[in-house]
């Protein structure tokens, strides 16, 4: 029998893969990997003992016992081809994640939006209360050393990725269903009903003694959980929910809200430094999981009032952009609905200010699938800077590039600007130097590099 000791991760620098790599290193495995670029993430992994090649090549998989591939890796990758030739087992990232989840009391966070935010908040609540959880997060929390940790506690928190259907490999004890939207439909025959069916199958992976925490404000989620033979707790702003959010208010420093538990008639009050109704909904998802796991209301409340910043989740970067009275918000959202939520939040928190939106589309497939939705939301922006599509390893799709978007946007908003690259976007932003503005940089590609230019200025 062959013992698995040497594990090689192709695409090790990705958010999900890097977290798995760090956990494997801490478990004592000999970890190697490959990626195309050095980043702070890969530097951290190297410092922990991983051997990383920054070029994909067949020699990278020699003498390895197991290969793990991310969903972004193609079958024609030379390392995949060589591993198959050498008959080295190859598994998907989600399959490795499923194995790691068996080590602990597992909670998986699923949904089209908000997975990283909820997972971060859960990890924060449990860490603050000295429960030392294991977590693998797709984003970065400023108060955490990294996006993954092997804790000594009983719990593991991780995101369940529906984008390639791989979340069906997971068998968590409990799960959150944050929302369901028309994203990644290319995996589901461009049919949202197929996507919802996949979410239902994921819910059926939860054992009968487990529990599902479902956003009852989402009609699509309600469709999925209807008559589902599982323990379900719903949350949201609507009065139909088991936990109802009320008394919501927000300003630039954060949000306050009440949360009513219908089962015991108790009303709890919370504060968080996160802004936006969507982030309050995400916070509540984490709260009710923590309550269900036995953490007291007072301990949860205290943990939320302590500083926690999740990078690129409606993050306030600066209030003195270009040394003017200009606020800069940076957000990861890359779906038309996410962009709409960010815009509405800006208008609610800063109603008297003008808004400049700097948006970078993410993936050609998404741009094609949601082309008209992108045009509708972007054309409604009075001030808009549009970057080229961030490909995320995809090849361009003719007629669905930023040039095509701007052409249609100009029919309704001729002042919108198309730029190439971060430096050109930065220069274009300087044309809006005027007090009483909010700049919103939005996208899942490298727009964070643009926001970085304004930090500490």
187-192's contacts with Cβ under 8 Å and 24+ in sequence apart are 187/162, 187/163, 190/369, 192/220
Please identify which of the residues 115, 140, 149, 174 carries the catalytic annotation. Answer: 115
DSSP secondary structure code for residue 102 in this structure: T
Token pair belonging to 187: 């995996």
Question: How many angstroms separate the CA atoms of 412 and 379, rounded?
Answer: 6
Q: What is the domain class of 315-452 according to CATH?
A: alpha beta
The contacts of residue 362 (CB under 8 Å, 6+ apart) are 334, 389, 390, 392, 443, 444, 445
Q: Which helix (H) or strand (E) holds 83?
A: helix 78-85
Question: How many angstroms separate the CA atoms of 364 and 277, rounded?
Answer: 29
394 is catalytic: no
**Contact call for residues 28 and 6 (beta carbons, < 8 A):** no
Question: How many angstroms separate the CA atoms of 101 and 48, rounded?
Answer: 22
* pLDDT above 90 coverage of the chain, percent: 88
Token pair belonging to 136: 């693998």
Question: How many angstroms separate the CA atoms of 65 and 32, rounded?
Answer: 11
Q: Would you place residue 357 in the very low, low, confident or very high pLDDT band (cuts 50, 70, 90)?
A: very high
- pLDDT tens per residue, range 239-270: 999 999 999 999 999 999 999 999 999 999 99
**Contact call for residues 194 and 230 (beta carbons, < 8 A):** no
**Contact call for residues 158 and 148 (beta carbons, < 8 A):** no
Q: Which residues in the chain are classed under CATH 3.40.1190.10?
A: 102-305
Q: Which residues in the chain are classed under CATH 3.90.190.20?
A: 315-452
**Residue 457, pLDDT score:** 58
**Contact call for residues 147 and 311 (beta carbons, < 8 A):** no
**Residue 2, pLDDT score:** 62
The values of phi and psi at residue 268, to 5°, are: -110, 150
Distance (Å) of CA 247 to CA 196, 216, 234, 262, 325 = 31, 18, 18, 16, 30
Mean pLDDT for all residues in the chain: 94
307 pLDDT above the threshold of 90: no
DSSP secondary structure code for residue 65 in this structure: S
User: Please, what is the Cα angle at 205 between 202 and 209, to 5 degrees?
Assistant: 130
For residue 258, the tally of other CB atoms under 10 A from its CB is: 13
Q: What is the secondary structure of 36-83 as a DSSP string?
A: SS--HHHHHHHHHT-EEESS--GGGGTT-SEEEE-TT--TT-HHHHHH
Please identify which of the residues 64, 82, 116, 272 carries the catalytic annotation. Answer: 116
Q: Would you place residue 143 in the very low, low, confident or very high pLDDT band (cuts 50, 70, 90)?
A: low
Supply the CATH classification number for the domain 6-91.
Answer: 3.40.50.720
The values of phi and psi at residue 365, to 5°, are: -65, -40
159 is catalytic: yes
23 pLDDT above the threshold of 70: yes
- In this structure, what is the dihedral angle of CA atoms 170, 173, 174, 177, given to the nearest 10 degrees? 20
1 pLDDT above the threshold of 70: no
Range 61-74 average pLDDT: 92
* pLDDT above 70 coverage of the chain, percent: 98
Question: How many angstroms separate the CA atoms of 456 and 420, rounded?
Answer: 25
**Contact call for residues 67 and 10 (beta carbons, < 8 A):** yes
Angle subtended by helix axes 115-128 and 277-292, to nearest 10: 50
453 is catalytic: no
Please identify which of the residues 79, 159, 338, 388 carries the catalytic annotation. Answer: 159
CATH H superfamily, domain 102-305:
Mur-like, catalytic domain (3.40.1190.10)
Question: How many angstroms separate the CA atoms of 218 and 158, rounded?
Answer: 22
Token pair belonging to 131: 């429960």
Token pair belonging to 306: 């302590």
- pLDDT tens per residue, range 225-234: 999 999 999 9
Place of tokens 């643009």: 450
């Amino acid at each position: 029998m062959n013992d698995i000791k040497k594990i090689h991760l192709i695409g090790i620098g990705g958010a999900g893969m890097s977290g798995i790599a760090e956990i494997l290193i801490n478990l004592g495995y000999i970890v190697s990997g490959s990626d195309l670029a050095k980043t702070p993430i890969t530097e951290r992994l190297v410092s922990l003992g991983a051997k990383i090649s920054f070029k994909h090549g067949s020699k990278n998989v020699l003498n390895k016992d197991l290969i793990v591939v991310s969903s972004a890796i193609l079958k024609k990758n030379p390392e995949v081809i060589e591993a198959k030739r050498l008959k080295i087992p190859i598994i998907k990232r989600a399959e490795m994640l499923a194995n790691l989840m068996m080590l602990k009391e597992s909670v998986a966070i699923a949904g089209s939006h908000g997975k990283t935010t909820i997972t971060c908040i859960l990890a924060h609540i449990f860490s603050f209360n000295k429960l030392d959880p294991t977590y693998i997060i797709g984003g970065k929390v400023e108060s955490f050393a990294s996006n993954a940790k092997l804790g000594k506690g009983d719990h593991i928190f991780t995101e369940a990725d529906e984008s390639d259907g791989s979340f069906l490999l997971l068998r968590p004890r409990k799960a959150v269903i944050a929302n369901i939207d028309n994203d990644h439909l290319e995996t589901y025959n461009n049919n949202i009903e197929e996507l919802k069916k996949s979410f239902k199958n994921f819910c059926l992976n939860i054992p009968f003694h487990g529990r599902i925490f479902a956003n009852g404000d989402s009609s699509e989620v309600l469709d999925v959980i209807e008559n589902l033979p599982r323990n379900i707790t719903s949350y949201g702003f609507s009065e139909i929910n088991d936990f109802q959010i009320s008394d919501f208010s927000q300003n630039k420093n954060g949000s306050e809200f009440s949360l009513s538990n219908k089962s015991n008639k108790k009303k709890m009050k919370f504060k968080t430094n996160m802004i936006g109704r969507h982030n309050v909904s995400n916070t509540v998802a984490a709260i009710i999981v923590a309550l269900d796991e036995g953490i007291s209301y007072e301990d949860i409340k205290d943990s939320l009032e302590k500083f926690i910043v999740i990078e690129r989740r409606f993050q306030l970067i600066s209030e003195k952009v270009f040394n003017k009275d200009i606020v800069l918000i940076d957000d990861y959202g890359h779906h038309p609905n996410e962009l709409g939520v960010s815009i509405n939040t800006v208008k609610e928190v800063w109603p008297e200010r003008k808004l400049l939106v700097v948006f970078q589309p993410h993936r050609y497939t998404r741009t094609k699938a949601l082309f008209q939705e992108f045009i509708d939301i972007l054309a409604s922006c009075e001030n808009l800077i549009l970057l080229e599509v961030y490909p995320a390893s995809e090849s361009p799709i003719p007629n669905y590039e930023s040039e095509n978007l701007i052409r249609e946007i100009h029919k309704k908003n001729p002042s919108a600007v198309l730029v190439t690259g971060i430096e050109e976007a930065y220069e274009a932003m300087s044309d809006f130097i005027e007090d009483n503005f909010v700049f919103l940089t939005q996208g899942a590609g490298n727009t964070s590099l643009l926001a970085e230019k304004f930090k500490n200025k």
